[in-house]
Amino acid sequence: MKAGDLRLDGRTAIVTGAARGIGKAIAHGLARAGANVVYADIDGEATGPATREIAGQPGCGQVLGMSCDITNRDDCARTVEEAVRLFGGLDILVNNAGKGPVHLERSPRTISLKFWESDPDVWRDIIATNVIGTFFMSRQATPFLIKAGARGRIINVTTSLATMQRKTNSPYGVSKVAIEAETLIWSKDLEGTGVTVNTILPGGATNTDFLSNMGRIHAQTSGRIVLEPEIIVPPVLWLASDLAAHVTGRRFVGKAWDDTLPLAEAGQKACEAPVIREAAER
């Protein structure tokens, strides 16, 4: 069986930042597996065309586009309430919405800025979106995920280790390390509830609006392959399924997923060492 054959019929998912890019690929993947999916995005208008790409396809769950700014607690509450009201519960939250390098650069033709040159308001906005927005959505969703018990999932999208420490890449790198800590700590907070919390990343520069033109040119001229957003979907489907019910506090790389392997082995192969080393409690 391949990850794409897994079924999630009757489950409900919210994917943030699902109007385009990686979020849209994840939302489409979950919907194709039969889950009911809320496509939540600050660009509410763009969720319409995104959901229309898939609505009504055979085997798909129901899809709903919603305008939601994850930095706004009322928006997060409304999105979770609407998912529960329409679909009867909530099983899966994918925290994908994020802001990054393209927001830091002065223009698509300039290089990224050193930390003391970057705009403090932009710096704050990136942390507010990536770190605090992920917390706001998770805080709102978790009581319902706990009700879902062993079906409950939080899946946080982060990035490659090299990106987290690349020069001129704060606050993006900082924000993604923080999400890794959120994953580890929350997975421990949720021990005994059945809800798992994991991190997922594509494993390289991915072909979305997120990459600035400079980043795309750099990736191409340096010979690095630019990945397609769908590369992240198989490990997400596996993590959302019953097969990964006991997998928590881990980090998975889309590019390392091998669809020719049995699913458990593919999961093992795609699992990368944690960014933050486990330490004994003092």
Ligand X SMILES: NC(=O)c1ccc[n+]([C@@H]2O[C@H](COP(=O)([O-])OP(=O)(O)OC[C@H]3O[C@@H](n4cnc5c(N)ncnc54)[C@H](O)[C@@H]3O)[C@@H](O)[C@H]2O)c1
Given the complex with ligand X, which of 112 and 208 has the nearer CB atom?
A: 208
Closer by beta carbon to ligand X, 33 or else 131: 131
Measured between its terminal Cα atoms, the distance across the chain in Å is 43
Whether omega before 171 lies within 30 degrees of 0, making that bond cis, reads yes
- Evaluate whether 232 touches 254 at the Cβ level (below 8 Å): yes
**For binding to ligand X (CB under 6 A), which residues are involved?**
16-17, 19-23, 41-43, 68-71, 96-100, 129, 133, 157, 159, 201-202, 205-206, 208-211
Smaller CB distance to ligand X: residue 3 or 15?
A: 15
CA distances from 251 to 49, 107, 213, 242, 264 (A): 31, 33, 28, 18, 15
In order of 23, 158, 166, the CA distances from 162 in angstroms are 22, 12, 6
CA dist 281 and 184 (Å) reads 13
Identify whether the C-beta of residue 103 lies closer than 8 Å to the C-beta of residue 122: yes
Residue with Cβ nearer ligand X (8 or 137): 137
The separation between CA 236 and the C-alpha centre of its own chain, rounded to angstroms, equals: 9
Closest to ligand X by CB, 12 or 134: 134
Residue nearest to ligand X (CB): 21
Query: H/E element holding 207?
Result: none
Q: How far is the CB of 235 from ligand X (least distance, A)?
A: 13
